[in-house]
């Protein structure tokens, strides 16, 4: 039983080792061409659509392409900087698609949708920055990580507050005032 477990572990290690190994420039170029071809095919599918559905489709296709290119670069040249670029590409793609989806709404519902999308985007960007700083191996890492986390917390809290405040705009009078005061208290805004 123990021998079988060891053999299975070795086999799994070999299987996953191929994913960690650096790719050649030719492999990189081939995969880059495939990403471009996939993007063109996705864009063509969007052309038959109409209105905002077409815009959403295009945003999703472009986002998928950006993320795939960032992931490919991170595979080709591993490192904290390229890992951050993958996270930022994912955040950008999600944000662009979410904004397009908000276009189906109107009035305050649209405003809230956009603010929620922005809050999610800010959080994703700040998380990517913190992850990059955390991956750093310098002597000042602890201070840098703490500073990055503090900045990320502040930025995220402010974006969440703006979204909560926007939700209050659909109310009037005392209800609106209460809603805004609750949002200030929840997100520690003065």
Q: What is the pLDDT of residues 99-125, one digit of tens each?
A: 999 999 999 999 999 999 999 999 999
Would you say residue 39 lies in a domain? Answer: yes
pLDDT at 6 over 50: no
Q: How many domains does the chain have?
A: 2
CA dihedral 67, 94, 87, 33 (to 10 degrees): 0
Q: Within this chain, do residues 135 and 120 fall inside the same structural domain, yes or no?
A: yes
Radius of gyration over every alpha carbon of the chain, rounded to an integer in angstroms: 22
Give the model's pLDDT for residue 21: 57
- Please give the DSSP secondary-structure letter assigned to residue 136: -
Q: Residue 64 corresponds to which tokens in the numbers above? A: 């998928």
Q: Residue 75 corresponds to which tokens in the numbers above? A: 């595979």
Q: What is the pLDDT of residues 141-160, one digit of tens each?
A: 778 878 888 888 888 889 89
* % of residues, the chain, pLDDT over 70: 87
Q: Within this chain, do residues 187 and 124 fall inside the same structural domain, yes or no?
A: yes
Q: Which of 188, 184, 167, 185 is nearest to 176 (CA)?
A: 167
- How confident is residue 18, by pLDDT bands cut at 50, 70 and 90? very low
Cα angle for residues 162, 103, 110 (degrees, 5° grid):
35
Its domain, for residue 62, covers 27-104
Q: What is the pLDDT of residues 34-51, one digit of tens each?
A: 999 999 999 999 999 999
CB atoms within 10 A of CB 10: 10
b/e code 79-109 from CB counts within 10 Å (16+ = b): eeebbbbbbbbbbbbbbbbbbbbbeeeeeee
Would you say residue 115 lies in a domain? Answer: yes
pTM value is 0.76
pLDDT at 139 over 70: no
Would you say residue 64 lies in a domain? Answer: yes
- How confident is residue 74, by pLDDT bands cut at 50, 70 and 90? very high
Q: Which of 168, 163, 55, 49 is nearest to 104 (CA)?
A: 55
How far is 129 from 179, CA to CA, in rounded Å? 32
Q: Within this chain, do residues 116 and 190 fall inside the same structural domain, yes or no?
A: yes
């Amino acid at each position: 039983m123990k021998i079988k477990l060891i053999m299975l572990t070795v086999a799994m290690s070999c299987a996953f080792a191929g994913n960690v190994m650096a790719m050649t420039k030719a492999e990189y170029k081939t995969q880059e061409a495939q990403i471009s071809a996939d993007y063109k095919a996705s864009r063509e599918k969007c052309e038959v659509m109409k209105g905002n559905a077409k815009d959403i489709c295009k945003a999703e296709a472009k986002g998928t392409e950006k993320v795939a290119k960032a992931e490919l670069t991170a595979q080709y040249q591993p490192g904290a900087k390229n890992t951050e670029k993958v996270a930022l590409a994912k955040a950008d793609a999600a944000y662009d698609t979410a904004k397009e989806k908000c276009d189906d709404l109107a009035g305050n519902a649209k405003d809230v949708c956009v603010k929620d999308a922005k809050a999610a985007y800010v959080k994703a960007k700040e998380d990517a920055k913190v992850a990059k700083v955390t991956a750093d191996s310098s002597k000042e890492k602890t201070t840098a990580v703490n500073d990055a986390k503090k900045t990320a917390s502040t930025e995220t809290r402010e974006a969440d507050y703006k979204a909560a405040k926007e939700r209050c705009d659909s109310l009037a009078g005392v209800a609106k005032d209460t809603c805004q005061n609750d949002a200030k208290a929840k997100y520690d805004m003065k």
